[in-house]
Chain A
Amino acid sequence: MLLKVENVEKVFSTDHIEFKALHGITTEVGKGEFVVIAGPSGSGKTTLLNIIGTLDNPTEGRVFLDDRDISDLSESQKAELRLRSLGFIFQAYNLINVLSAAENVEYVLQLQGIAKADRRNRALELLKAVGLEGLEDRRPNQLSGGQQQRVAVARALASEPEMVLADEPTANLDQATGRELMQLMLDLNRDKGITFIISSHDEMVIEHARRLLRLLDGRIIADVRPE
């Protein structure tokens, strides 16, 4: 099993208030799955995704990636794990503004210490794969929202991660662009076997789910595999 989540709880607390965002979440995700975590705002989708992606720590419970407990890693170990094993796509403003599309994709490869020529070729290949051939040298502010998200997808795939985590990737896109992006991720999942876990409350995204985890008030209320 690629990912195992065991009894994960998350409590956010301030001086006066304690809020339990996740209540004992337990689930597993296999290699090559295309999972959509759906639910209304405040249901805990992003919190769960953040914990899976080691961006946040669970209050209780464990998360295993390839049978390795990733709940108690140091900050440096988490950074290394995110760099080598995980790809991220966020809702918007995903890119480093001062880098071109190709450089944004190369960034992760550079952190991994890959040689210049190799990383440049790989970045160009990935940008071509996401339909951005010819736009490699454009800065984020010279790209549309959809094009920026495509760059983010290319970047998420650059390090050949075991799993890509996408948080509301279509939220800031129009319907047609969102649909194109979704198709791109489906194709990559089908053709390359990359595991995707996507949090979304966008019905179009939910329609395309190959496995759907429905969350409500921090609990999984449904785990289905639509036909």
Chain B
Amino acid sequence: MRIFMAIAWRNVMRNKKRSFITAFAIAVGLTALIFMWSLFDGVYPMMIENMTSVFMGHIEISDPRYVEKPILDNAIVDGGPILEALAANPDVESYSPRLTTFGLVSFGENSQGAAIIGIDPELDRNLGLIDDFVQEGGTFFEGDDRYGIVIGATLAKNVDAGLGDEVLLVTSNRFNNLAYLGPLPIVGIVKSTVPEFDASTVFVDRLTLAREIFVDTSVVYTNPDAEVTDIAGVLTSVAVRVKDQHKLEQVRDDLQQLMPPNARVRTWSEIAPWFKQALDIDVVFGYIVLAIVLIIVVAGILNTVLMSVMERTREFGIMRALGTKGWQIFTTVSLESVFLGLLGLVIGSVCGIGLTLIFGQIGLDLYGSFDESMMGQFYILDSVLYPTLALDHFIITCVLIMVAVVLVSIYPARKASKMEPVAAIKALG
């Protein structure tokens, strides 16, 4: 076997320029592939983190009827056991119950429609980043500020209100009567990474909101069970962050077991399937690039090895005449392909890993040239991207390339091994 390896390697080295061009083509493709996968592997978790960390969380618990039709009739009014189950679950990092309704934000003569989200400030602070986006001077419901509102920066601008101004929230309560909250002082103005959020959201204390829209002293209950006595359990959803995202589905299933029948547990990919689909499309794009690289590898190797075989027809004839068996010649030619492939693989791996490590440190400023308003459209992407080398993707890529190399070598190797000695010896090559 050693002699065939020697012959194969020396034949690769016999035409150095041709071999290196082939190896270089493989290397360039592999470098691009490693870097692209690493970029995906670095960006996806960041996108998911950005997507889930601002407000959504990894998991959301809500009544499926509320998901279908977000009205207060579909809110969960007995959410106490849900919150207790979440507090006791070791896989849950943090959770935040929300009570969401819709109404008008009114200040002076200005008013605008908005989502009114009731939150538990302490719990929400542990889960999301909204409190981090509060602009200078404001607070996120700290101390006595609990009786106030935190408003999106664009919305505040639209109604021409600022910190300390008192705004009125007008909404309808559970009984379809008008309900008024306030006037409530603006205690914080939020400028987040989500422009839509800043233009259409106000935050209030959940218990305050629940009291206003779920308790109506003027209502006479014909069914006593319909009366909400514990407003702490009134919520439309609970956002949950888990400790280990890799166990997301398992945690979802575990939590679902603990939930009352009217609560459904969904992961972020179920809440925002469009986002999951976008990531999946990127993965498909990655496979398309992989296919292109494989075509380059196949074409390069096939061209080089086939030319090499044709040039050495006579040599193969001599080898056959000396008693070399067909499979031994097959092995020799296959080894040439493998060596070429390995050469490209080594160069490509060094370049690809090197590039990934460098940009993993310094980052890739893809959006550096875009202005801020443009950046808003890409809120789930950071302005600087950091590629991360994933060993499994690297190994899969290398294995696929080597499989392609071995498969493509079959044709020239078979051609060489099937040469008739007499015809081959007569050939000029």
A: residues with CB less than 8 A from B are 50, 53, 55-56, 75-76, 79-84, 88, 90, 93-99, 103, 106-108, 110-111, 155
Contact = CB atoms under 8 A, between A and B. Distances in A.
A82 B422 contact: no
Contacts of B243: none
B158 interface: no
Contacts of A107: 3, 322
A155 B324 CA distance: 14
A82 B14 contact: no
B321 interface: yes
Given A55-B422, A98-B7, A99-B7, A111 B323 contact: yes
Nearest to B425: A90
Contacts, number: 65
A90 B422 contact: no
Per DSSP, chain A at the interface is helix
Contacts of B323: 79-84, 108, 111
Interface in B378-429: 421-422, 425
Contact of A53 (B3, B321, B324, B326): B321
Nearest to A47: B422
B3 A79 contact: no
A82 B322 contact: yes
Interface string B314-333: 11001111111110100000
B3 A110 contact: yes
A95 B7 CA distance: 12
A98 B425 CA distance: 17
Given A84-B323, A97-B312, 10 more contacts: A76-B325, A79-B323, A82-B323, A93-B315, A96-B7, A97-B315, A98-B6, A98-B7, A99-B10, A108-B323
A60 to B, nearest CB: 18
B11 interface: yes
Which 8 interchain pairs have the tightest Cβ spacing?
Answer: A83-B323, A98-B10, A82-B323, A55-B421, A110-B3, A79-B325, A56-B422, A55-B422
A22 B287 CA distance: 60
Given A79-B325, A107-B3, A97 B320 contact: no
A93 B426 CA distance: 11
Nearest to A51: B422
A90 B328 CA distance: 21
Interface of B: 2-3, 6-7, 10-11, 14, 312, 314-315, 318-326, 328, 421-422, 425
A80 B327 CA distance: 13
A94 B317 CA distance: 10
Nearest to B418: A75
A97 B14 contact: yes
Contacts of B318: 88, 90, 93-96
B320 A93 contact: no
A98 B312 CA distance: 11
Contacts of B325: 76, 79
B7 A88 contact: no
Nearest to B319: A96
A108 B322 contact: yes
Contacts of A56: 422
Given A55-B421, A88-B321, A96-B315, A75 B326 contact: yes
Contacts of B7: 96, 98-99
Contacts of B324: 79, 111
A79 to B, nearest CB: 5
Nearest to A110: B3
Nearest to B429: A93
A142 to B, nearest CB: 14
A196 to B, nearest CB: 16
Contacts of A75: 326
Contacts of A82: 321-323
Contacts of B320: 55, 79
B106 to A, nearest CB: 88
Contacts of A95: 318
Nearest to A91: B425
A88 B10 contact: no
Nearest to B328: A111
A50 B422 contact: yes
Contacts of A76: 325-326
B425 to A, nearest CB: 6
Contacts of A106: 3
Contact of A98 (B14, B322, B326): B14
Nearest to B11: A98
A190 to B, nearest CB: 25
A150 B391 CA distance: 54
A155 to B, nearest CB: 8
Contacts of A111: 3, 322-324, 328
A155 B59 CA distance: 76
A18 B322 CA distance: 30
B250 to A, nearest CB: 58
A80 B324 CA distance: 8
A80 B14 CA distance: 29
Contacts of B322: 82-83, 88, 107-108, 111, 155
A98 B15 CA distance: 11
A21 B6 CA distance: 40
B7 to A, nearest CB: 6
Task: Give the one of B14, B312, B321 with max A CB within 10 A.
Answer: B321
B314 A93 contact: yes
A56 B319 CA distance: 15
Contacts of A83: 322-323
A111 B421 CA distance: 17
Nearest to A80: B323
Contacts of A103: 3, 6
27 contacts: A50-B422, A55-B321, A55-B421, A55-B422, A55-B425, A75-B326, A79-B320, A79-B325, A82-B321, A83-B322, A88-B321, A90-B425, A93-B315, A94-B318, A96-B318, A97-B14, A97-B312, A97-B315, A98-B7, A98-B10, A98-B11, A98-B14, A99-B6, A99-B7, A107-B3, A108-B323, A111-B324
